[in-house]
Amino acid sequence: MIEVRDLSKRYGDKLAVDHLSFSVEPGRVTGFLGPNGAGKSTTMRLILGLDRPNSGTATIGGRPYRELSQPLRVVGALLEARAVHSGRSAFNHLLVLAQTQSLPRRRVDEVIDLIGLREVAGQRAGGFSLGMGQRLGIAAALLGDPKVLVLDEPVNGLDPEGIHWIRNLLKRLAGEGRTVFVSSHLMNEMAVTADHLIVIGRGQLIADCPTEEFIARSSEKSVRVKGPDRDRLEQLITAEGGRVTADEDGALTVADLEAPRIGELAAGAGLVLHELTPQLASLEEAFMELTRASVEYGAQAHDTAATDAMPVPLEAGPR
């Protein structure tokens, strides 16, 4: 279990992590979600004792990382993708890491098989693609058979097969009772990977709830309605409390009124409908909406809620 209490981290006048509190429970995959610049990496670095907070605490199994006597056997971590500048083979890269932790050579073999690196184990790690490098990083994180995993954007740079593989691995590790804490800036990715979500924006907590609940809450409903007498349709819907926007193709998009009620109103008034379609906002759109005020806009934006500015596209990779 990871516990973060009132954690803050300031870089100059920038509050990267802003009084954040949450717990990461064992036995499930917890997604750490937020747009680029939200403070995910900083929070993970604080949990791993790589940086000191300005206030608050982060503990793993009740103790700060720095106080763990054999930290790599307790926590495995993958931080933001970095090329491995190693002339060593993948096997030897892992062997050196294992030796520094007094882990047997046998464990390197186990992890190589677990991560599916057997075929490339003899190749120079420095020549690996980003995707292979990610796998090697995950292999390194698992060497000490840790109960807690902290992975920063692990699917970054992976092809669809690699993403699928990681997703299954994370679920399996959580199924074994481990604490799995994994960050991403991609809502759709987390929706299918995580059981529980911690969502942050501008260093602050936005949501801490089961993924299903977050999806239900975020999926804003609207209805598309089309008919020959658009003006009367609009009057009827507005009079009943619906919010209407006119689409370019002559249809209306209605919020705050459900499709059956719109159908009844039209029938009651004898109006013909050509279309009546309930719509769900895409999860990615809903997420952008939710985090809009808290997205990192660059230099000008660190302390004003610039709700009118466009968020950074979520598809963009981490800096």
Strand ranges of the sheet holding 275-280, from the earlier edge strand across to the other edge: 243-246, 252-255, 221-226, 275-280
Residue 252's CB is within 10 A of a number of other CB atoms, namely 22
Nearer to ligand ADP, 143 or 187 (CB): 187
Task: Please report how close the Cβ of residue 192 comes to ligand ADP at its closest, in angstroms.
Answer: 20
How many whole angstroms separate alpha carbon 225 and alpha carbon 261?
12
- Binding to ligand ADP, residues 134-163 (CB under 6 A): none
How many whole angstroms separate alpha carbon 72 and alpha carbon 94?
13
218 binds ligand ADP (CB under 6 A): no
Q: Compute, in degrees rounded to 10, the torsion defined by CA atoms 144, 147, 153, 159.
A: 70
Task: Please report how close the Cβ of residue 15 comes to ligand ADP at its closest, in angstroms.
Answer: 8
Site string for ligand ADP, 13-52 (x = CB under 6 A): -x-x-----------------x-xxxxxxx----------
How many whole angstroms separate alpha carbon 2 and alpha carbon 152?
15
Nearer to ligand ADP, 9 or 147 (CB): 9
- Specify the residue for token string 């598309």: 224
First to last CA, the chain: 29
Phi then psi dihedrals of residue 189, to 5 deg: -65, -45
Task: Please report how close the Cβ of residue 40 comes to ligand ADP at its closest, in angstroms.
Answer: 3
Nearer to ligand ADP, 49 or 126 (CB): 49
How many whole angstroms separate alpha carbon 129 and alpha carbon 183?
21
- Binding region for ligand ADP (CB under 6 A) out of 8-16, 60-68, 83-91, 105-113: 8-16
Task: Please report how close the Cβ of residue 215 comes to ligand ADP at its closest, in angstroms.
Answer: 21
Nearer to ligand ADP, 40 or 147 (CB): 40
Residue of 116, 110, 151 lying closest to 135 (CA atoms): 116
> Binders of ligand ADP: how many residues, by CB under 6 A?
13
Phi then psi dihedrals of residue 7, to 5 deg: -80, 130
Task: Please report how close the Cβ of residue 22 comes to ligand ADP at its closest, in angstroms.
Answer: 15
Crossing angle between the packed helical segments 283-291 and 211-218, to the nearest 10 degrees: 80
Task: Please report how close the Cβ of residue 17 comes to ligand ADP at its closest, in angstroms.
Answer: 7
Q: Pairing state of beta strands 28-33 and 179-184?
A: parallel
Task: Please report how close the Cβ of residue 115 comes to ligand ADP at its closest, in angstroms.
Answer: 24
Of 49, 126, 127, 318, which one interacts with ligand ADP (CB under 6 A)? 318
Site string for ligand ADP, 257-296 (x = CB under 6 A): ---------------------------------------x
Nearer to ligand ADP, 11 or 102 (CB): 11
Looking at the chain, the number of H-run helices and the number of E-run strands are: 11, 13
182 is written with which tokens?
């994994």
Nearer to ligand ADP, 42 or 211 (CB): 42
Nearer to ligand ADP, 37 or 242 (CB): 37
Q: Which residues bind ligand ADP (CB under 6 A)?
A: 11, 14, 16, 34, 36-42, 296, 318
